[in-house]
Amino acid sequence: MTTSSDSAKSQLPELKYDANGLIPAIVQDDETNDILMLGYMNARSLELTLEKRLVTFWSRSRQEYWTKGETSGNVLELVDIRKDCDVDALLVRAVPHGPTCHTGNRSCFYRDLHDV
Query: For residue 92, what is the domain's CATH number?
Result: 3.10.20.810
**Res 115: pLDDT:** 79
pTM of the full predicted structure? Answer: 0.87
Query: 115 in a domain, yes or no?
Result: no
Query: 116 in a domain, yes or no?
Result: no
**Res 86: pLDDT:** 96
CB 38 within 8 A of CB 27: yes
Instruction: Print pLDDT tens along the chain (116 aa).
Output: 444 445 555 556 699 999 999 999 999 999 999 999 999 999 999 999 999 999 999 999 999 999 999 999 999 999 999 999 999 999 999 999 999 999 999 999 999 999 76
**Res 116: pLDDT:** 66
Domain housing 62: 6-109
Query: 114 in a domain, yes or no?
Result: no
Q: Are strands 64-67 and 76-83 parallel, antiparallel or unpaired?
A: unpaired
Query: 13 in a domain, yes or no?
Result: yes
**Res 4: pLDDT:** 46
Query: 98 in a domain, yes or no?
Result: yes
**Res 63: pLDDT:** 92
Roughly how many angstroms between the first and final C-alpha of the chain, as a whole number? 35
Identify any residues that bridge with 90 across adjacent strands, giving them in sequence order. Answer: 25, 83
What are φ and ψ of residue 77, in 5° steps?
-80, 120
Query: 63 in a domain, yes or no?
Result: yes
What are φ and ψ of residue 115, in 5° steps?
-85, -10
Q: Domain count of the chain?
A: 1
